[in-house]
Structure 1
Amino acid sequence: MARAGLTAERLTRAGAELADEVGFDQVTVSALARRFDVKVASLYSHLENSQDLRTRIALLALEELADRAADALAGRSGKDALAAFANVYRDYAREHPGRYAAARFRLTPQAAAASAGGRHAQMARAVLRGYDLAEPDRTHAVRLLGSTFHGYVSLEAAGGFAHSAPDSQESWVRIVDALDALLRNWPAP
């Protein structure tokens, strides 16, 4: 019988909070059971295993990120949209480091199809409508944005820019400026 008050959604949200506190790689069903002061077996009415829990957290993180990006992009275009889109990822990674890591979790094809991952790609392509890019360059540009955003926030989270000048905010603004310039002047193949 399921313990009163425990649901898959509540466990997922608690797992996401735990990920932000201790790191996504440390989230397990056992760690979650300790958080609720219940036996591990109590959670198996709601979760299959730690993989299922991590998948649920990843799906939650992708949904939260997509919702934030959609709100940030509303009514924006060009460089303004690019900066808003970039800032969503950086801010989310800073506020929710465990969830951000979860958003990078490798999903099964079935979970990926049900995720907000497609919304992220659509929004990246919407940002790129402000630039004159045709396929396959648009796809290359989506990959450039994703790798630049992820690379920067990963290095920043690891303390890679903590003890150097200029500060990381100034670099971030310059990187977004450089991405805008590159997208406006995309090189021919």
Structure 2
Amino acid sequence: MPRAGLSPRLVAEEAARLVDDQGLDALSLAAVAKRFGVAVPSLYKHVDGLAALRREVALLGAAELGDRLRTAATGRAGPDALRAVAAAYRRYAHAHPGRYAALQRAPGADDHEARRVSAVPVEVLTAVLAGFGIGGGQAVHAVRTLRSALHGFVDLETRGGFGLPESVDETYELLVEGFVLAVQNWPGTASARVGTEQDSEGERQGRH
């Protein structure tokens, strides 16, 4: 690509492709410049160093993941929405492992743009969990738990952490179904209170 065709967006997109191909640790200004066929100083017109380039890759990944999750959730609610979002999350991590890795670190408190973009996937998850009656402070805990479950699985999977022959796809489906059951009975929600009341009634009847 000719030097005159460079732009901050094109540099970020090429850096994202590089980390997907070679891993996040392979990202450098020299590596990106080589892919464009230009000298490293040419990139400084479009990106303010390696840290800024990493940030742009993370923002690109967060925006893309947010779009994938939102599309998956559209028109669905409850368990169907959660299943669709979980599947989209895993597909994105598989398709773009480098940029997925880049978006895992929370942005700095003063980086308002990065915080806004990085919040989009979380906002989708929050909306999905709201369909189970989970809101307020419990929503934070539920979203953290869901993210931990999904990320933990795909991180182990992409690192080759599952060596036994049983289907990894089936394991992921079981993970998601287990989480569906968990959020249907999340502490503090109406469904959990009903379940607790039913258990208490059963215990009282058993004593008579």
CA–CA distance in structure 1, aligned partners of residues 5 and 109 of structure 2: 31
Q: Which moved more, 1:139-148 or 1:120-129?
A: 120-129
Write the letter of the residue equivalent to 2:25. Answer: D
Partner residue, 2:161: 160
TM-score by length of 1: 0.92
Write the letter of the residue equivalent to 2:49. Answer: N
CA–CA distance in structure 2, aligned partners of residues 142 and 68 of structure 1: 17
Partner residue, 2:172: 172
Partner residue, 2:26: 26
Partner residue, 1:93: 93
Instruction: Say what the alpha-carbon RMSD is for the aligned residues.
Output: 1.6
Q: Does 1:63 align with 2:76?
A: no
TM-score by length of 2: 0.84
Q: Deviation string for 1:88-137 (max 9, x for gaps)? A: 11101101100111111442334354442222222111101221224322
Contact 1:55 1:105 in 2 (8 A): no
Gaps of 5+ in 2: 189-208
Where in structure 1 do 4 or more consecutive aligned residues deviate above 4 Å?
none
Higher relative contact order (CA 8 A, sep 6+): 1
Q: Deviation string for 1:70-100 (max 9, x for gaps)? A: 1111010011110111111110110110011
Percent of residue pairs identical: 39
Provide the secondary structure at the position in 2 that maps to 1:116.
Answer: helix
Cα pair distance change 1:112/1:174, threshold 3 Å: farther
Q: How does 1:3-22 map to 2 (within 5 A)?
A: 3-22=3-22
TM-fit CA distance, 1:34: 1.4
Q: Deviation string for 1:59-80 (max 9, x for gaps)? A: 0000011111111110100111
